[in-house]
Amino acid sequence: MKHHVRRILEETACLDVEIDTLGDNDDLYAAGLSSLGTVRVMLAVEEAFAIEIPGSLITHDMFASIAALAGVIAQLVPEESIATRS
């Protein structure tokens, strides 16, 4: 899952640092994630996983780190569905 999140962030987030330099729990906002970037990431996640993220889950904390974003996606996407995207 975190691999997929990293790819989406790399393609859409416009971070100030290379995605490979970030740990799973590093602060994405400190790495340059903007409010526009969060929208881009959210839309890319929804498209990549064919889901709609409920408004109640869309918080500042959801985008705080790669691990946080992966955790939210894992709540919404069945494990077997993720395996087919690898």
Does position 81 have pLDDT exceeding 80, yes or no? no
Q: What is the pTM of this model?
A: 0.89
Does position 23 have pLDDT exceeding 70, yes or no? yes
3-state secondary structure of 78: coil
How many angstroms separate the CA atoms of 64 and 56, rounded?
A: 16
All domains in the chain, ordered by first residue? 2-83 (1.10.1200.10)
Is residue 34 a contact partner of residue 74, using CB atoms and an 8 Å limit? no
Instruction: Kindly indicate the confidence band of residue 24, based on its pLDDT and cuts at 50, 70 and 90.
Output: very high
Residue 29 DSSP class: T
Placement of tokens 């899952």 in the chain:
1
